[in-house]
Amino acid sequence: MKKIAVLTSGGDAPGMNACIRAVVRTGIFHGMEMYGIMYGYDGMINGEIQKMESHAVSNIVQRGGTILKSARSEKFRTKEGRKIAYEQLQKLGIEGLVAIGGDGTFTGAKVFYEEYGIPTIGCPGTIDNDIYGTDFTIGFDTAINTALEAIDKIRDTAAAHDRIFFIEVMGRDSGYIAVECGLGGGAEMVMVPETKTTLHEVVEKLKGSRKTKTSSVIVVAEGDEEGSAAEIMEKVKNIIDDETKDFKVTTLGHIQRGGSPTGKDRMLASRCGMAAVEGLMSGQANCMAGIIHDEVVYTSFEDCITKNKPLNRDTLKLIEILSI
């Protein structure tokens, strides 16, 4: 294999640049020509592919976002679009791909490999930490620390005014961010898509907390079955129906995706990037390079996409114990 291209797709995550850097420099170290594809699969279709030398990835390891940009491609979902993308790669003689992203990115890579046979290895780039085949995903640790900083500040004002805060964090299908933030931020309760938490349980928890605490924080994953943090707050407020209690809601939103990656994310991204290139060299394909128990593991795209990564129930129990 002489030519490899790297792309980032889907939602951005802190550490993607560190991964790009590792992919490019590992390839160059092994004597390959390295290419960067702008705007993910859309850029592949449009031929926005550029050769990358070592200097192209200088001074990016500490930057959030992705220098290759990212986009979701509707064209790539079609056979016609994928055919054009393949032809663009053929023009440059690109023989392998490294795709940094999540489930959607890997689904596209899997279909593309099955149709055209270009070996592809993924790197788990998503703040949600919901990809099977790796203990942690690139960007998760940074997102947790960003959210925790905000939660700590909200706790200060909650305590100053005896308020009940409902704080919404990202996690449409996964509660990993909410659970980690809830534990680290000392939340009284965490609401996540994986477990059903009734409004009655929330109300009882708040009533119990009021006996020993003057303020409370409840962390809500955006995909919780009861709705958004704002919707849940209104429902709870109507049930409690006490004008002396002050309810507030904060949605942290996309602040969780930005910022300089933590040391942990930089290390993870660098290891996965190197593993992806060396995996392609050793004949691996149609799989993701992840880290499990501090060892590099290759997991098929099929398993990454179809298998669930369950929450640690002990962590949920710990939140309940420590919130009394």
Active site residues: 128
Contact 102, 114 (CB under 8 A): no
The length of the chain is 324
Sign of the dihedral through C-alpha 69, 75, 77, 82: negative
Helix, strand or coil, per DSSP, at residue 151: helix
Contact 154, 218 (CB under 8 A): no
What are the strands of the beta sheet with 3-8, ordered from one edge? 49-51, 33-37, 3-8, 96-101, 120-124, 287-292, 295-300
According to the annotation, is 323 in a ligand binding site? no
According to the annotation, is 155 in a ligand binding site? yes
- Encoded tokens for 13: 């995550």
According to the annotation, is 21 in a ligand binding site? yes
According to the annotation, is 278 in a ligand binding site? no
According to the annotation, is 273 in a ligand binding site? no
Q: Would you call 264 exposed, middle or buried from its count of C-beta atoms within 10 A (0-12, 13-18, 19+)?
A: middle
According to the annotation, is 22 in a ligand binding site? yes
According to the annotation, is 163 in a ligand binding site? yes
According to the annotation, is 170 in a ligand binding site? yes
According to the annotation, is 271 in a ligand binding site? no
According to the annotation, is 214 in a ligand binding site? yes
Q: Indicate the annotated binding residues.
A: 11, 21-25, 72-73, 102-105, 126-128, 155, 163, 170-172, 186-188, 211, 213-215, 222, 248, 254-257
Q: Indicate the annotated binding residues for Mg(2+).
A: 103
Q: Indicate the annotated binding residues for ADP.
A: 21-25, 155, 186-188, 211, 213-215
